Structure 1
Amino acid sequence: MSNLTPREIVSELDRYIIGQNDAKRMVAIAMRNRWRRQQIDPELRDEIAPKNIILMGPTGVGKTEIARRLARLTNCPFFKVEATKFTEVGYVGRDVESMIRDLMEIGVSMVRKEETEKVRIKAEKNAEERLIDLLLPGKKPERQGSMGFFAGSQDGAVEPVEPPKKDDGTREKFRQMFRQGQLDDREVEMEVTVQSGAQVEIMAIPGMEDMGNNLQNAFSNMFPGRRKMRKMKIKDAYQALIDEEADKLIDPDAVNELARERVEQSGILFVDEMDKIASRHDQTGGGSADVSREGVQRDLLPIVEGSVVNTKYGMIKTDHILFIAAGAFHFAKPSDLIPELQGRFPLREELSSLHKEEFYRILTEPKNALTVQYKALLATEGVTVDYTQEALEEISAMAEKINEETENIGARRLYTIMEKILATLSFEAPDKSGQKIVIDRDYVIDQLGQVVEDRDLSRYIL
């Protein structure tokens, strides 16, 4: 992240998202400002608040994708939540603080994965030694636990004994065979940790999810894991041993502390459907609904302003978490939000609708384009698929036409159209192994012509 300039961030986003240049520039500046803030004297650093963003535009134009790709690009903890989740059961809804707890869980998982990669080489080495111990011929101990080798004495007591002597030549022979993959399908018996007792699921009362999590942890501690002998293939046993050894090498307290710092300083919360909690002042007969929406906004306000949220990993400050809100804002406008919340989203950008030119670029330019995905899927059956330029232009024109005549769902229309075009080929692909299929304009019209002409039919199928 420290090496990415705004221009480089936009360039990376261009690889996946077509158009919306103004929105890309805005989020790129916001991310660069976070890096700039880290270079400032600590006294002034705490005074600089993030400039939260509202992205406005119809569905399927790239609002969520911009935020998701940005978080992945900068390796920041990212969590997407729908604002309507907080109104599903009326004013109470879901506790708004739960999104901070969810973001923290993602941060911990991200840091744990990074720390595991750092110790992976040592964990693999230790796991290999343990696996060779299990593979070596000779008398097997009755039980091998984390404390060493054990054997039963005459009176039935369990006493530690010295591990059997290992021949170095035999050990190296097994090591070479294992590294060459000659033992992957052989079975070995080893101890694994299993959860004793039944799993207890706690149904938390709306607004009291934190209490539910605490009860869940309490019940889990009442039924600690126990060791059990289990037969596994060597390649599966090796992976299980790597996980065990990595857990031993990682300090959970250090992981939690690093995750907390990362969430507080670089976390991103994407609040979708923000327009659904805005009070529309021109409507009639919706008084109770407006009360519910305004109540959610007031619950959300302290989180966005900056407060302290209690999680099972400790207290999390939200002062410097970046909030990106999004919504269609067809009926409600950002000005319909309560003034205090408006002031916490100073940056606003309207994303433009997509037309056939953008649809064509979406089908051809991104490295994860739909055409590339379907080509790869059918290649697994031995079928080679190619698309002509005229076919892609026809698909783009149809997507624009159907969006205009029915509901405008943006680029998501391409999913339904591509699936309809390739449905027959996908079904028959196992019988066409070794063939090359060319998708041309006539093929597209043949598959879609009747559906597109019948407006009522296209409304339900496409």
Structure 2
Amino acid sequence: MNEKDFPEEKMEDTAAGSSLAGNKKKEEDEYEKICYVCRRPENVTGPMVSMPGGMNLCHDCMQKAFDSVSQGGFDITKIQNMPYMNLNLSDLGSINKKDLEIPNKQRVKKRSEKEPGQELKRKDIPAPHVIRRKLDDYVIGQEQAKKVISVAVYNHYKRVYLTDSRKKDEEENVQIEKSNILMIGPTGSGKTYLVKTLARLLDVPLAIADATSLTEAGYIGDDIESVVSKLLTAADNDVDKAERGIIFIDEIDKIAKKKSTSSRDVSGESVQQELLKLLEGSTVEVPVGSNQKNALTPMTAVSTENILFICGGAFPDLEDIIKERLKEKSSIGFSAELKDRYEKDPNILSHVTNEDLRKFGMIPEFLGRLPITVTLESLDKDLLVRVLKEPKNAILKQYKRLLELDEVNLVFEDEALEWIAEEALKKKTGARALRAIIENFMLDIMYEVPKDPNIGSVVITRAYLDKNGGPLIQMRC
């Protein structure tokens, strides 16, 4: 019995082998080689030397190996950061190759050679009114904020376009600066949601970092470069794509300079100072597939020059600083401003200045790299009602869609929507309170309705929400 007796199995094995080889070849073309010792990609180290077992070594690590040999025998344990310290090269064939391979989530995709057709085109940049119109479909209110953000994003990507096409005004030699944004608004006003919607509409990677976890380098916590590492992960380890993305640093008010402390401020002013280089635009080496730097994590270089940074925070007690400054302008006379004019102003944050932010604890160098300040209004009852029903992915539309799958029509009375908005205002957490309230009273409905296939529609009334009655249920005809 030989191979000729099973020609079909032989052909299948050959096809499977060629398919695996093709996938391996495609993977090698898509991802960069990574040095097995120092874990740096090929775009940092230069061309590498391929070793048996699928290992790749950069010239620096190869030179260290040769130096070790010339100094009295080849001792692989002397090579810094070398995994498998007791590895015997003669036994390399018996080692499982999968143990030596670096997972794709820690590998960097090769940079694509930019051809004229691949560069960011001027017509691909949406105009401010187009961005604003798309934001209106998802974000209710905040008209001034949407207008400012639309213009800032439009100007930012025009700057990226000039960088990609290497077009410069030779006569005036104009250098366009970055238009990073500082968003100030109460909790639940839509800061994070606005940025998420913007990134989705522009189809660019987005990384959301929490400033409360950032500390100065060398202390327990996340390093500043970790925010860029998150963006690289969101871009599927594509450096070119990540360098055009958006980084949103939330809770930025938590890194304000401490007013009275005798210890080193490693999570306040020091973090602001280390963020300066990222906001300005620099090239940093970040870990791939991890937020922690160690000997087994590959590193790659990412330029932040074309990354749009948006910082947001609630800035509690900032209103008191603004009111104190405005009251100093009051005087005596017919044209004088009253001291209580701003006491009950719901949009007091719109009067904020850099002087107020410096008093709050933000250093001048940090504010200088966030030239655009956007203030968001607190949501009132009417806006909360609109948030419930008008956006494309409104909460009520989501529940209606869920019950439509059971062939049940869900209706909310206007008085019921007003009751929900009033309850949300009491919680003082903005739009975040809406879902929690709806989840509470929709639980029984979502549980009971699928039991009876004869139910045709459910009407949510204010009496049901006040626990003075039940929802109106209509059966099928």
The reply to whether residue 398 of structure 1 matches residue 423 of structure 2 is yes
Normalised to the residue count of structure 1, the TM-score between the two structures is 0.58
- CA distance in structure 2 between the aligned counterparts of 1:324 and 1:98, rounded to whole angstroms: 16
Q: What secondary structure, in the 3-state scheme, does the structure 2 residue paired with 1:261 have? A: helix
1:69 and 1:298 map into 2 onto residues whose CA distance is: 29
Residue 197 of structure 2: aligned partner: 69
Structure 1 Cα separation of the partners of residues 312 and 382 of structure 2 = 24
Q: 1:293 to 1:447 in 2, by over 3 A?
A: farther
- Tell me which of 425, 438, 443 is aligned to 1:423: 443
Q: Quote the Cα distance in structure 2 between the aligned partners of 1:294 and 1:97.
A: 17
Question: Letter of the aligned partner of 1:412 in structure 2?
Answer: R
The equivalent residue for 1:105 is 233
Match of 2:396 among 361, 371, 390: 371
Instruction: Tell me, yes or no, if structure 1 residue 83 matches structure 2 residue 208.
Output: no
Gaps of 5+ in 1: 110-258, 450-462
1:438 matches 2:459: yes
Letter in structure 1 aligned against 2:228: I
1:27 lines up with 2:149 in the alignment: yes
Q: Report the 3-state secondary structure (helix = DSSP H, G, I; strand = E; otherwise coil) of the residue aligned with 2:146.
A: helix
SS in 1 for 2:466: helix
Classify 1:89/1:429 alpha carbon distance in 2 versus 1 (closer, same or farther; 3 Å): farther
Report how far residue 287 of structure 1 moved: 3.9
List aligned pairs for 1:227-266, cutoff 5 A.
Answer: 259-264=238-243, 266=244
Tell whether 2:450 aligns with 1:328. no
SS at match of 1:325: strand
Question: Shift of residue 430 of structure 1?
Answer: 2.2
> What is the CA–CA distance in structure 1 between the aligned matches of 2:253 and 2:402, rounded to whole Å?
37
What is the SS of the residue equivalent to 1:95?
coil
Instruction: State the partner residue of 1:358.
Output: 383
> How far off its partner does 1:382 sit?
3.9
The one of 172, 176, 181 aligned to 1:48: 176
1:28-427 matches, within 5 Å, as 28-38=150-160, 40=162, 42-43=167-168, 47-87=175-215, 91-108=219-236, 259-264=238-243, 266-281=244-259, 284=260, 286-288=261-263, 290-311=265-286, 312=298, 314-331=300-317, 334-335=357-358, 336-400=361-425, 402-403=426-427, 408-427=428-447
Counterpart residue number, 1:226 = none
Q: 2:473 maps to which residue?
A: none
Q: CA deviation at 1:17?
A: 0.7
Give the letter for the 1:18 counterpart: I
Q: Quote the residue 2:343 is aligned against.
A: none
- Residue 374 of structure 1 aligns to which amino acid in structure 2? Y
> What is the match of residue 9 of structure 1?
131
Partner deviation per Cα, 1:359-388 (whole Å, 9 max, x = no partner): 110111111111111122233344321112
TM-score normalised over the length of structure 2: 0.57
Q: How many residues align?
A: 291
Contact 1:83 1:274 in 2 (8 A): yes
Cα drift, residue 93 of structure 1: 1.9
Root mean square deviation, CA, Å: 2.7
> How far 1:392 moved relative to its partner?
1.2
Structure 1 residue 104, shift from structure 2 partner: 1.6
> 1:275 Cα deviation (Å)?
0.1
Deviation (angstroms), 1:350: 1.3
Whether the 8 Å contact between 1:382 and 1:434 is mirrored in structure 2 is no
The verdict on how the C-alpha distance between 1:295 and 1:92 changes in structure 2, with shifts beyond 3 A counting, is farther
**Alpha-carbon spacing, 1:85–1:267, altered in 2? closer, same or farther (3 Å):** same
> What is the letter of the counterpart of residue 267 of structure 1?
G
Partner-residue secondary structure (3-state), 2:311: strand
SS in 2 for 1:415: helix
CA distance in structure 2 between the aligned counterparts of 1:19 and 1:287, rounded to whole angstroms: 44
Which amino acid in 2 is paired with 1:308?
A: T
Q: Distance in 1 between matches of 2:224 and 2:423?
A: 41
1:390 is matched by which residue type in structure 2?
A: E
The answer on whether the counterparts of 1:83 and 1:276 sit within 8 Å (CA) in structure 2 is yes
Structure 2 contact 216–266 (Cα < 8 Å) conserved? no
Distance 1:434 1:359 in 2: 34
Q: State the structure with bigger RCO (CA 8 A, min sep 6), 1 or 2.
A: 1
**Structure with the higher helix share, 1 or 2:** 1
Give the share of equivalent positions with the same residue, in percent.
38
Q: 1:291 Cα deviation (Å)?
A: 4.5
Q: From the superposition, tell whether residues 103 and 3 of structure 1 become closer, same or farther in structure 2 (CA, over 3 Å).
A: closer
For residue 55 of structure 1, give the secondary structure of its aligned residue in structure 2: strand
Residues 182 and 312, structure 2, Cα contact 8 Å, conserved in 1: yes
Say if 2:205 and 2:231, in contact at 8 Å, map to a contact too: yes
